Structure 1
Amino acid sequence: MDISGIAMEDRNLVRVMETALRARPSQIAIRDPDRALSYMELWDEGLRIAGGLGRLGVGRQQPILLMLDNHVDNGLLWMGIGLSARIEVSVNTAYRGQMLAYIIADSKATVAVVEEQYLPRLVEIAADIPALRAVVVRRGADTDDDSLRRAAQLWEVSDFAELSAAPPASPEPVAPWELFSFSYTSGTTGRSKGVLCPHAHAFGQATSDGLGTTLPGEVRFVVLPQFHAAGRWGGIYNALIHQGTAHVAHGFSASRYWEQARAVDARTSQLVGTMAEFLHLQPERASDREHGLREICILPLPRFFAAWRERFGVRLLTAYGSTESGAIIFNADARSNSVGRPRDGYDIRIFDPNDIELPPGEVGEAVVRPNQPWTTSIGYLGRGEETAALWRNGWLHTGDALYRDEDGNFFFVDRLDDAIRRRGENISSVEVELHVCAHPAVAECAAVAVPSEFAEDEIKIAVTLRPGESLSEPALLDFLDDTMPRFMVPRYVHLLAELPKTATSKVRKTEIRKAGVIGCWDRATGAFVTAGEQNAPLAPHHGKEPA
């Protein structure tokens, strides 16, 4: 979708909905397996929720924390936030403990909306989030009266249904530079940072041709989690902008994906590379092509994308971008491993460490400069130095290593830093290390990415123990299972007498990576890795991947 001709003042959720209401008020805008709302119903209920947020004392351009699963109510809350110029702060539902406390405190959100099942996690960290004053609970099938009682002693607690019982608010005029989201992305040299995303930036994220285009009246099958921009903007917002229908699945199932897509009559969808690999591992069926999907965007492409496309009979799309930059490169018919060419409106170069442009074929850092304002992130919440580094010399620095060929096609190589991408999640090595070092027996830890038999990475940790302490690898992993998100729990553990360091006492992570996984404890197999096993695939019967 070429958005260069779309007026800047129209690049916000209010204008998108007003346009759709004039054309298709009774068409289904969003649905899940349990509920469906037309564009008019989504607008009306969204404004009532906006009214409810006002009654909670949340003002214009103030943040609201969301810790919700995939369903229509999640989309409704997002709609209420967007129509009233408030700021969404969606939290990964796997977060807990210190990581959850850090993001809530850093966002300065005073109101949180959470699933009832996640309420105990908030109660556990109450002392670390003193600014939180009100919690809206979306009740589940099994009411946890004890958690509700404890929460009511700490905060003003209300039911999600009360939000939509308020008198409707009026839609707020929204400027393109006003913030729509604090999107927390993993830090690579420190803790996670809140990316400041204006309305025009979110609109651009949702309209990249690399994500696919849902035609008016068509269904976009959304299986990515709504706490990620790819699920929220690339999924729901993409469908609304194109006046289609967003069908929000409660979760991703490799064994039922095609059946579900067929049942909801979907035409477009979006996956992360790991999901595509899980689909490819499913037994081949005669019905593999019996679906209505026309195109699927996969980020990143699986290694066997040509065979994948042939087996399932869909057009493959891919793109490159980040929360900070947006989707800036896309490949609308992926027949090579190129991430594509720059989209209209973005100047993209490959720089060396001193910001000198490199010629075709040479690997360097991808940098971007838009030709229209407010179409990328404007920086990081409360982090002036990091924002200055992001926008060094007038270019947004992605932190990723790419190269381009003589024809202008771009190719992703690697990340320039210590970030890890696993199971569709960007993970900060620092975050992993903080969790590991919370164990009383651990002295030091270094976390690195190592190759996976699937797309993306696995996590290896090199660990030293405090003098006089003893700790087994399985015991450490059991501790981490209880304290950190599942996708962050390392697969490989290597206990060492000391970590390799420079003369200035900095850990040499390059050496830890190069050592590979031989001699490491493998969480997946429950044994140490030997030379003959280091590249062995993870057998499906281990039960470590989604069904």
Structure 2
Amino acid sequence: MIDVVGDRTLNDLLDERVALGPDHQLLVFEDAEGAVSELTYGGFQDLVLRAARGLQELGVGHGDRVAVQLRNSPEILVIWFALARLGAIFAPSNVANTTPELEHILRKARVSLLIVEPDYRAIAEGAIAAAGGDVTLVIARGPGGDAVTFSDLLEREPLTDAPDVGAMDVCELIFTSGTTSKPKAVMLTHAHCVRSGEDAVRCIGLHDGDRCMTSLPLFHCNAQAMTALAAMTVYGTIILLEVFSATKYWSQLRRHGATETALVAMQLRTLNAQPVDPDERDHRLHRVFYSLNVPDEERLSFEDRFGVTLINGYGQSEAMVMITSAPLVGDRRWPSIGLPIAGRNVHILDEEGNPVPRGEVGEICVEGTPGRDVFLGYFDDPDATAQTFRDGLLHTGDNAMVDDKGFFYFFDRKKDMIKRAGENVSAMEVESALIAHPEVATAAVIGVPDPIRDEEVVAVVVAEHAGAVTAEELREHCAQRLARFKVPTTIQFVDELPLTSVGKVRKDALRKEWTDAAQARATTS
């Protein structure tokens, strides 16, 4: 492993940049109504220290877990770095999470304090009550009523007596879907987060002062590493959008002078589907980083139309995003997911842990040092940690092959994960929600190709009594238990599921049936 971080923390990263010049612009934020606010590095540091003092007065200390359910905003960045200053742990929650999903985060991480927007207060109070009630609630970005507000905390004097925080201290828990019905909490250290910013800079080819724009949510690693930490690493500017708007995106890029942006495949397709704008090539973008699948013809169309270079890559939360990335220059061998990023040794192994020949499919496994370039482990889950990281390797659970030039090609997910519009959906989690309905005997959930969202969630259900429950009733049942992006788009009732000789559901057969049907519809339309 190449150590590009040393013993640095997120606190060091911020303080070093402030020392370069506190008046340099760090953040431009555009909210959903188009209002714009700005922060300098020095102004941001002041808010971080004030928030840290306020959080400390509420009892937050080194190692404490604080859950945060906020949309993109300056507040979520301030809270992240304020917790880092205290040696506390940032546990972001997807804003689509329901009360049961937030309750799981509170229980799993043993959260002591929860910060939410007014829109999520009812969900938060329900989750706190279900989890036992021993969680302090703070309201941000709006009135709090009888609760403490985050704006109250910012009235405190800046923190001057911060505790010692080490590079190997955990600073974040990312809850990631997996094959189990309950998400696991990925532990990321300060050193790992700082490294992720360095990795992103090299993958995208950033330079001093670049201006990085995103509408991707800061409760995901992608926006944290590829935009926020990358921009800070090069003493640049974060341009943060509260929401994505295909009709406004290019004017926002021009307005804010963005030189780099990050998108998911659905956003690329949506932008490419917009009517031609005579000013759409009038921008300062060097490159656009994207994740998930984009066919070659779509990539070429996007690059030619908008005059940009697309750079793709592959990664996961356990690696704090990047594992492979397309070269900045030269042959990119589409649809390859690129080459291992600098400092990473990546292998393709069979079920016994042996290297597979080039051109054959195996599991992507990454050499790493826990807490440095791969995750420290799953919080309070040593068995899952031992299963994922063993023999010095992070086992990603994803299949790929390598060609004769060393380029990687993604094939499928061993973990039975569905990628829907940039979100991870655990098939087993959705199946568990469906089976909880008294009129569902069993269910299988699969992802089927979708031209806009990459994959859609399809549930194939065997009912206890034919006609006793409808698809819409099951969708409503799921919506009460799952984030909206996990709710099946389509529910099909069948008499029985296809099974193997040992009783396992043949999801390959279900996927083929649905994929063939989708292709047939596309051919006849």
Contact 2:118 2:139 in 1 (8 A): yes
Cα root mean square deviation, aligned? 2.3
Q: Once the 2 structures are TM-superposed, how far is the Cα of residue 535 of structure 1 from its aligned partner?
A: 6.5
Give the SS at the match of 1:14: helix
Structure-2 residue corresponding to 1:203? 194
Contact 1:269 1:293 in 2 (8 A): yes
Counterpart Cα distance in 1 of 2:406 and 2:520: 41
- CA 1:309–1:301: 2 relative to 1, 3 Å: farther
Q: Once the 2 structures are TM-superposed, how far is the Cα of residue 276 of structure 1 from its aligned partner?
A: 0.9
Counterpart Cα distance in 1 of 2:121 and 2:319: 33
Structure 2 letter corresponding to 1:19: E
Contact 2:139 2:148 in 1 (8 A): yes
Give the SS at the match of 1:165: coil
Q: Once the 2 structures are TM-superposed, how far is the Cα of residue 196 of structure 1 from its aligned partner?
A: 0.8
Contact 2:203 2:341 in 1 (8 A): no
After TM superposition, the structure 1 stretch with the greater mean CA deviation from structure 2, 459-468 or 230-239, is 459-468
Deviations 1:266-312 (A, max 9, x none): 00111111111111111222222111111110112521212211111
Structure-2 residue corresponding to 1:23? 20
Counterpart Cα distance in 2 of 1:31 and 1:530: 42
Structure 1 letter corresponding to 2:204: G
1:330 partnered with 2:321: no
Structure-2 residue corresponding to 1:286? 278
1:370 partnered with 2:368: yes
Q: Once the 2 structures are TM-superposed, how far is the Cα of residue 264 of structure 1 from its aligned partner?
A: 0.5
Specify which of 46, 49, 60 is matched with residue 48 of structure 2.
Answer: 46
Contact 2:80 2:90 in 1 (8 A): yes
1:84 partnered with 2:86: yes
Structure-2 residue corresponding to 1:393? 391
Deviations 1:246-278 (A, max 9, x none): 011011111211111111010011111111111
Contact 1:110 1:131 in 2 (8 A): no
Structure-1 residue corresponding to 2:155? 165
Structure-2 residue corresponding to 1:13? 10
- CA 1:440–1:177: 2 relative to 1, 3 Å: same
Q: Once the 2 structures are TM-superposed, how far is the Cα of residue 531 of structure 1 from its aligned partner?
A: 8.5
Structure-2 residue corresponding to 1:417? 415
Structure-2 residue corresponding to 1:320? 314
Counterpart Cα distance in 1 of 2:45 and 2:23: 11
Specify which of 295, 299, 307 is matched with residue 301 of structure 2.
Answer: 307
Structure-2 residue corresponding to 1:540? none
Specify which of 211, 215, 221 is matched with residue 213 of structure 2.
Answer: 221
- CA 1:335–1:403: 2 relative to 1, 3 Å: closer
Structure-2 residue corresponding to 1:516? 514
1:273 partnered with 2:287: no
Structure 1 letter corresponding to 2:305: R
Q: Once the 2 structures are TM-superposed, how far is the Cα of residue 501 of structure 1 from its aligned partner?
A: 3.0
- CA 1:339–1:56: 2 relative to 1, 3 Å: same
Deviations 1:310-358 (A, max 9, x none): 1111122122111112312111435622221112221111000110001
Structure-2 residue corresponding to 1:359? 357
Structure-2 residue corresponding to 1:178? 169
Specify which of 25, 43, 58 is matched with residue 56 of structure 1.
Answer: 58
Give the SS at the match of 1:345: coil
1:387-466 maps to which residues of 2 (within 5 A)?
A: 387-454=385-452, 456-466=454-464
Give the SS at the match of 1:286: coil
Counterpart Cα distance in 2 of 1:402 and 1:37: 42
Counterpart Cα distance in 2 of 1:5 and 1:357: 26
- CA 1:281–1:112: 2 relative to 1, 3 Å: same
Contact 1:210 1:319 in 2 (8 A): no
Structure 1 letter corresponding to 2:488: P
Counterpart Cα distance in 2 of 1:122 and 1:372: 33
Structure 1 gap segments, 5+ residues each: 519-528, 538-547
Contact 1:213 1:268 in 2 (8 A): no
Structure 2 gap segments, 5+ residues each: 31-35
Structure 1 letter corresponding to 2:182: R
Contact 1:211 1:318 in 2 (8 A): no
Give the SS at the match of 2:104: helix
Contact 1:213 1:238 in 2 (8 A): no
Structure 2 letter corresponding to 1:198: T
Q: Once the 2 structures are TM-superposed, how far is the Cα of residue 530 of structure 1 from its aligned partner?
A: 8.8
Contact 2:178 2:415 in 1 (8 A): no
Structure-2 residue corresponding to 1:123? 125
Contact 1:28 1:39 in 2 (8 A): yes
Deviations 1:60-116 (A, max 9, x none): 021100000111111111121122221110000001032221122111111000001
Give the SS at the match of 1:287: coil
Contact 1:421 1:427 in 2 (8 A): yes
Give the SS at the match of 2:246: coil
Counterpart Cα distance in 1 of 2:2 and 2:260: 23
Contact 1:221 1:248 in 2 (8 A): yes
Counterpart Cα distance in 2 of 1:100 and 1:517: 34
Give the SS at the match of 2:279: helix
Q: Once the 2 structures are TM-superposed, how far is the Cα of residue 488 of structure 1 from its aligned partner?
A: 1.1
Structure-1 residue corresponding to 2:521? 533
Counterpart Cα distance in 1 of 2:173 and 2:524: 40
1:99 partnered with 2:101: yes
1:232 partnered with 2:230: no
- CA 1:505–1:491: 2 relative to 1, 3 Å: same
Give the SS at the match of 1:9: coil
Contact 2:444 2:507 in 1 (8 A): yes
Structure-1 residue corresponding to 2:33? none
Structure 2 letter corresponding to 1:281: A
Q: What fraction of aligned residue pairs are identical, expressed as a percent? A: 28
Structure 1 letter corresponding to 2:324: I
Give the SS at the match of 1:8: coil
Deviations 1:427-481 (A, max 9, x none): 1112111222333322222111111123621111011222376122233224434
1:248-259 maps to which residues of 2 (within 5 A)?
A: 248-259=240-251
- CA 1:185–1:530: 2 relative to 1, 3 Å: closer
Contact 2:364 2:400 in 1 (8 A): yes
Structure 2 letter corresponding to 1:17: L
- CA 1:53–1:441: 2 relative to 1, 3 Å: same
Give the SS at the match of 1:270: strand
Counterpart Cα distance in 2 of 1:207 and 1:406: 28
Structure 2 letter corresponding to 1:160: F
Contact 2:181 2:432 in 1 (8 A): no
Counterpart Cα distance in 1 of 2:51 and 2:87: 13
Structure 1 letter corresponding to 2:149: D
Counterpart Cα distance in 1 of 2:172 and 2:387: 21
Give the SS at the match of 1:225: coil
Counterpart Cα distance in 1 of 2:344 and 2:197: 15
Contact 1:441 1:469 in 2 (8 A): no
TM-score by length of 2: 0.92
